[in-house]
Amino acid sequence: MSQTASEHGIDPSQILRWKKHALDSLPGAFSPDNKSHEVKMAYERKRKALYRKIGHLTTQLTWIKTNRD
């Protein structure tokens, strides 16, 4: 652990905290009431909506640039 910490410039106690958090969270990671899938799906919906909006605004900007007189 000390070697990994020094290779990445991380305090060894931080690695211990990450390990403890991972081990504490692991049992619930596969439980049926885990909300991570719902959170991921909400994120993906939001991301897709934002990309659609970017596409729409890019199209409008291109149209404005080509049709200015």
Q: How far apart are CA 30 and CA 42, in angstroms?
A: 19
Lookup: tokens for 58? 């890019």
Per-residue pLDDT of the chain (69 residues; tens, 9 = 90+): 888 888 889 899 999 999 999 888 887 777 766 677 788 889 999 999 999 999 999 999 999 999 986
pTM: 0.47
Q: Are 11 and 5 in contact (CB under 8 A)?
A: yes
Q: What angle do CA 29, 30, 35 make, to 5 degrees?
A: 65
- Phi-psi map region of 34: left, alpha, beta (phi>0 left; psi -120 to 50 alpha): beta
φ/ψ (deg, to 5) at 61? -65, -45
